[in-house]
A and B are shown apart, each in its own frame.
Chain A
Amino acid sequence: MKIGIIIQREYLTRVKKRSFIIITFLAPLFFAALMFLPVILMESSEKFDEKRTIAVCDESKMFYGKLENTEVNTFLYIDNDIDEAKELVKNGDYDGVLYIPATTLSVPTNAEIYSMKQLPMSLTSHIRSSMKQVVEHQKLLASGIDPAIVKASATSINVQQIKMSEKDGTEQKSFGEFEFILGIFLALIIYMVIFVFGGQVMRGVIEEKTNRIVEVIISSVKPFELMMGKIIGVALVGLTQFLLWAVLTLAISGIASSFLPTPEVFSAGTVMSEQITEMAEAESSSALTEVFEVINSINFKDILWCFLLYFIGGYFLYSAMFAAVGSAVDSETDTQQFATPISLMLIIPMICSSLIANAPDSSLALWMSMIPFTSPVGMMLRIPFGVPIWQIAVSVTILFATFILFTWFASKVYRTGILMYGKKVSWKEIFRWIKY
């Protein structure tokens, strides 16, 4: 089969490109870094922080012995006045001096800290919160309230949403924020994938046309075979990249977590939730437990299937249109007038993404996930919340029927377009080509 030879070339030339290899191998490092960096930074900020001693020159006499020492910060209370204390800092006896002036009011609200070197923000915020606690405590006592009562009355409220299934009435906990984020994330990936790889198809077509190699090739194969070969080849490049990203990201995070002292924080899935459940027994209904309960309740396998279906359908639909655009123009700069309306159809559901994900069962969301041009993005936004299977079936059917129809249209435009050199083409002309 000649289309096989074309697919092979389209695939291999892209996969062997330096840019493909670099992006494929660097991106997982980047993903892994995004996962680990905050934790590593948190860990190391403590480690890299030098120990320091802060002299406390407290004229208000309210804070003696009340500032909490931490691993790196030691507070020493001195009786010297502030000028003497500054001299001590200059001599290097202390790293800094905290000066709390006596105020005319009963409670001090200001403090100054003198040092030779810049002191970290963590120190000032630690001092601020320590002092705040002391002062609040004092105020409560002054107005005759027991601070313990105030502490006991602090409350946080959780509203648990539970969705009842239409069919069997089973109840499912839902944690709106998480599904919202997951939906936006999936939609964004589909959106980017269609643009990136659809764009590659378009550029490939333009390349063949401007190279003038196209006439040699279509004297050997049908234009349809060349177009489909390219579309399928690029699709396989996309799937390869996904697969490698998934495998490499998991591998890198696996390796990295084994080197880190507290692996249980990162390792995903069951291990995590088991530990969370244990924790949950000790500390019931914490927000974190809820999140993991919801994560466990989401069917990732179904999401993955839907993602693949909509990726394939959406990619083929749009890349066929992009191939037709590429065939009709002479250079990439001429693509604007045709590519913009096509891109717009894909951008619309992205603009509405928060509306859709906020109310995934609204009629807007339903329409966006049914119209084939918006359904790949629209449906991804709804999927994490759970979508009735009949809706997915209808939407996927419409999408695939449209992609077959548009591939046919595109091939007609493509067939005429690739042999049209040096001619500015209008929309009207393109519609005429479809009728040929």
Chain B
Amino acid sequence: MNYLEINNVSKTYGTKKVLNDISIKVPEKSIYGLLGPNGAGKTTLIRILNQITMPDSGQVLLNGKPLQPSDIANIGYLPEERGLYKKMKVGEQAIYLAQLKGMNKKEADKKLRHWFMKFGIASWWDKKVEELSKGMQQKVQFIVTIIHEPKLLIFDEPFSGFDPINVNLLKNEILELRDKGATILFSTHNMASVEELCDNIMLINKGEKILEGSVRDIKQQYKNHTYDVVYKPNDGGEETHLTVSSTNPNELISDIISKGELVSFNEILPSMNDIFINLVSSSNQ
């Protein structure tokens, strides 16, 4: 079951085609990576999902039904360009933003305090936002994004501005949210986190979809048959490390065995980072 479906969405600003016939399917309870260089059209696509902008053509289905204004309550959005009112108290502000998502005040207060405890930031409740560091503000923003327990979460560069410890905390939270039933759309330039978190990805460049699929399949598809081999030569020399290209791994192994004792044999799959750079630069040509 796909929780989110985007069908043939196009958007043009002036003469510039920002999105050209984009379609994606995001299965329920999965993390979907939205990848692409700056200016590829990711933010426009996300804004269409949030009903901030309307597509020129195409359709967005949420849970099988066309997107409606009331779906605001089903979506949590952490934009890349994000901020809070500096002069407002943290707790007050979090309640305000939760209310705008349709929660009532009492419920918002209770849930927010729970999350503040969980993130170890309960003591900030009455502080003004301007007293917090950038990373602290990001934590508050993350909580505000998920507080109304939306079915669809959209994170645009969620890890920017976090230290490694908090990146880890956030990753675990994101995985936990998925396990609890949320569908997550995740836009980032950080390819390491894509490999770690995403089940499926789409790569867009200049408004065009250039790659789509599960992370595992894509890596298989773009592998270049390179193997990392370690063996002990029969003549009693030191352990030898080799990177070999071969289309026939069986042959490669028997070849090595004849030379010595095989210690380890691994296929080197391309990193998402390499795939990203290769595809984007070739599509730019």
Cβ of A220 and Cβ of B97 under 8 Å apart? yes
Report, as a range, how many residues of chain A touch the other chain. 20 to 34
Interface: B100 (CB within 8 A): yes
A9 to B105, CA, bound (A): 13
The segment from B72-80, B164-172, B227-235, B254-262 that touches chain A is B72-80
| Residues of A with C-beta under 8 A to B81 | 212, 215, 421
Interface: B50 (CB within 8 A): yes
Interface: A213 (CB within 8 A): yes
Report, as a range, how many residues of chain B touch the other chain. 20 to 34
Interface: B52 (CB within 8 A): yes
Cβ of B96 and Cβ of A219 under 8 Å apart? no
A421 to B81, CA, bound (A): 10
Interface: A288 (CB within 8 A): no
Closest to A218 in B: B52
Closest to A17 in B: B87
A211 to B144, CA, bound (A): 16
| Residues of B with C-beta under 8 A to A419 | 47, 52
Interface: B151 (CB within 8 A): no
Interface residues of B in 93-148 (CB under 8 A from A): 96-97, 99-102, 141, 144
Cβ of B96 and Cβ of A216 under 8 Å apart? no
Interface residues of A in 402-430 (CB under 8 A from B): 419, 421
Cβ of A219 and Cβ of B88 under 8 Å apart? no
Contact mask for chain A residues 1-14; partner B; CB cutoff 8 A; 1 contact, 0 none: 01001100100010
Interface: B83 (CB within 8 A): yes
Cβ of B50 and Cβ of A5 under 8 Å apart? no
Interface: B84 (CB within 8 A): yes
A181 to B81, CA, bound (A): 52
The contact of A5 among B78, B85, B99, by CB within 8 Å, is B99
Given A211-B86, A216-B144, does the pair A9, B79 have CB atoms closer than 8 Å?
A: no
For B51, B52, B72, B77, the residue with the greatest tally of chain A CB atoms inside 10 Å of its CB is B52
Cβ of B100 and Cβ of A211 under 8 Å apart? no
The contact of B87 among A13, A210, A212, by CB within 8 Å, is A13
Given A216-B144, A218-B52, A220-B97, does the pair A211, B75 have CB atoms closer than 8 Å?
A: no
A221 to B144, CA, bound (A): 15
Cβ of A211 and Cβ of B85 under 8 Å apart? yes
Cβ of B52 and Cβ of A215 under 8 Å apart? yes
Distance in angstroms from B12 CB to nearest chain A CB is 12
Q: Which 9 A-B pairs have the closest CB atoms?
A: A212-B83, A211-B83, A220-B100, A219-B50, A215-B79, A212-B81, A219-B77, A213-B83, A5-B99
**A-B contacts, 25 listed (Cβ < 8 Å):** A2-B102, A5-B96, A5-B99, A5-B100, A13-B87, A207-B85, A210-B83, A211-B83, A211-B85, A212-B81, A212-B82, A215-B81, A216-B77, A216-B78, A216-B141, A216-B144, A217-B97, A217-B100, A219-B50, A219-B51, A219-B72, A219-B75, A219-B77, A219-B79, A221-B100
